[in-house]
Amino acid sequence: MTTQTEEAGMPADTASPKDDDPGRTNRSERLSALAQQHGALVTLVIAMAVASLSFDTFLTGDNLENMALSSAFLAVVALGMTFVIITGGIDLSVGSLFALGGVLAAWGSQYGTVVALLLPLAVCGLIGLVNGVLIAHVRLAPFIVTLAAMLGARGILLAITDEGSKTYLVDKDSFFATLGQGSLLGIGVPVWITVALFVLGAVVLRGTRFGQYVYAVGGNEDAGALMGAPVARTKISVYTLSGLCAGLAGALNAAWLVSGVTILGSGMELEAISAVVIGGTLLSGGFGFISGSLVGVLLLKVIQNVINQIGSLDSAYQQVVSGAFLAVVVVAQTWLGRRRRVL
């Protein structure tokens, strides 16, 4: 709701006379598109280069592996979030769903791997579906619906864990635990799963009709509907997808920790949104890409890792840096986006 009106209000006050020159606008448009697509990647490379020059411990196998593993779970959540944000929506429930998925998986693991995976997917997917229906058919604001789902899912989590006092454990020798703890060719299984999901996500978004609908709904809902995009179905699908991703990430995380920790996931929605936005996806919808979100997640984790390496710095600095970084990216995006939109 908010996003669209913001959008509509933009062009009038941003058109500046110098953008009338067609040759110049064309070039600057291409440049800003490049900056928007690859800015995060360039920053990531620079950050990693600086970090590896400054700290001997940064570019070691152990450290990189740790970073990859801790990125994997957030990345899966950010993957679903990217679809939602491209449709111009937002999903605040993912942090709660991540925690709920973990607890359900840990509880379900006593009945085998299939239950441990399917139960969180079913429950979190269902909550995502309800979000989608409320947003698409009842036409409530995504922000408030998913906010309610965030509270509701956290409530369900507390209800099934004795008000958060009970932690379900995963059998260390079960196949489910190897999904989190095992490794293949020296790289952790969750990292492989994450990479596979991102490839799949990119193919779906770029190469399928559903992907086109996602962009169409986010670009202009009414125009999308007139062109025959099934707006309601697309919206329901992306919120369901986001719920599934959050539930799966939670389940993998529980397999990694071999327990369903109840206090996880608070603030994760903000991290995921930050990662997606840093990756170049516009919160106003209609523009974005999957690979950017992965870069955004990695960038956040590198910042976190560097601040941990400095040691003398309190981990609170990480939040200050992440927040400031988000602000800078958003300002840059808005500025670049303006020039693009003037055309």
Partner 1 sequence: MTELALSRGSLDRDRLLRLLQDYGVYAGVLVLLLFNFAFTPHFVSTENFRTQAVQVAPVLIVALGMALAIGTEGVDLSVGSVMALATSLLSLYLGYGPWIAALTAVIGGIVVGVANGALIAFVGVQPIVATLALMVAGRGLALVLLPQLKDVRDPGLASLGSGDVLGVPYLVLIAAVLAVLVAFVMRRTTFGRQVLAIGDSRPAARLAGLPVRRVLIVVYVCSGALAAIAGVLATARLTASDPTSLGNLMELSAITAVVVGGTPLTGGRVRIGGTVAGAVLIQLLTTTLIKHDLPPSWTQIAQAVVIVLAVYAARERGRR
- Binding to partner 1, residues 253-282 (CB under 8 A): 270, 273-274, 277
Nearest to 37, CA basis, from 297, 278, 303: 278
Rounded (5°) CA angle 271-275-278:
135
Please tell me whether residue 12 binds partner 1 under the rule CB under 8 A.
Answer: yes
Site string for partner 1, 193-232 (x = CB under 8 A): ----------------------------------------
Member of 122, 148, 191, 225 binding partner 1 (CB under 8 A): 148
Tell me the torsion sign for CA atoms 127, 133, 139, 142: positive
Nearer to partner 1, 163 or 171 (CB): 163
3-class DSSP state for residue 187? strand
Member of 109, 284, 291, 293 binding partner 1 (CB under 8 A): 284
Member of 74, 134, 251, 306 binding partner 1 (CB under 8 A): 134
Piece in contact with partner 1 (CB under 8 A), picked from 141-149, 204-212, 238-246, 286-294: 141-149
Nearer to partner 1, 19 or 65 (CB): 19
Cα 295 off chain centre by: 11
3-class DSSP state for residue 183? strand
The answer to whether 252 and 153 are in contact (CB under 8 A) is: no
The answer to whether 43 and 294 are in contact (CB under 8 A) is: no
Sequence-distant (6+) residues with CB within 8 A of 189 are 178, 179, 180, 181, 182, 183
Nearer to partner 1, 5 or 56 (CB): 5
Member of 3, 43, 82, 240 binding partner 1 (CB under 8 A): 3
Piece in contact with partner 1 (CB under 8 A), picked from 9-17, 108-116, 172-180, 197-205: 9-17
Please tell me whether residue 310 binds partner 1 under the rule CB under 8 A.
Answer: no
Member of 330, 339, 340, 342 binding partner 1 (CB under 8 A): 330
- Binding to partner 1, residues 72-131 (CB under 8 A): 90
Member of 47, 129, 133, 140 binding partner 1 (CB under 8 A): 140
DSSP 1: -
Structure tokens at 197: 């999901």
Query: Residue 20, Cβ neighbours under 10 Å: how many?
Result: 10
Please tell me whether residue 141 binds partner 1 under the rule CB under 8 A.
Answer: yes
Structure tokens at 6: 């913001």
- Binding to partner 1, residues 229-248 (CB under 8 A): none
Cα 102 off chain centre by: 17
Member of 35, 126, 129, 147 binding partner 1 (CB under 8 A): 147
Nearer to partner 1, 165 or 343 (CB): 165
Sequence-distant (6+) residues with CB within 8 A of 339 are 19, 25, 28, 29, 32
Give percent helix, percent strand, percent coil of the chain, each to the nearest 5: 80, 0, 20
Residues that bind partner 1 (CB under 8 A): 1-3, 5-6, 8-10, 12-14, 90, 134, 138-141, 143-145, 147-152, 154-159, 163, 270, 273-274, 277, 283-284, 314, 316-324, 326-327, 330-331, 334-335, 338
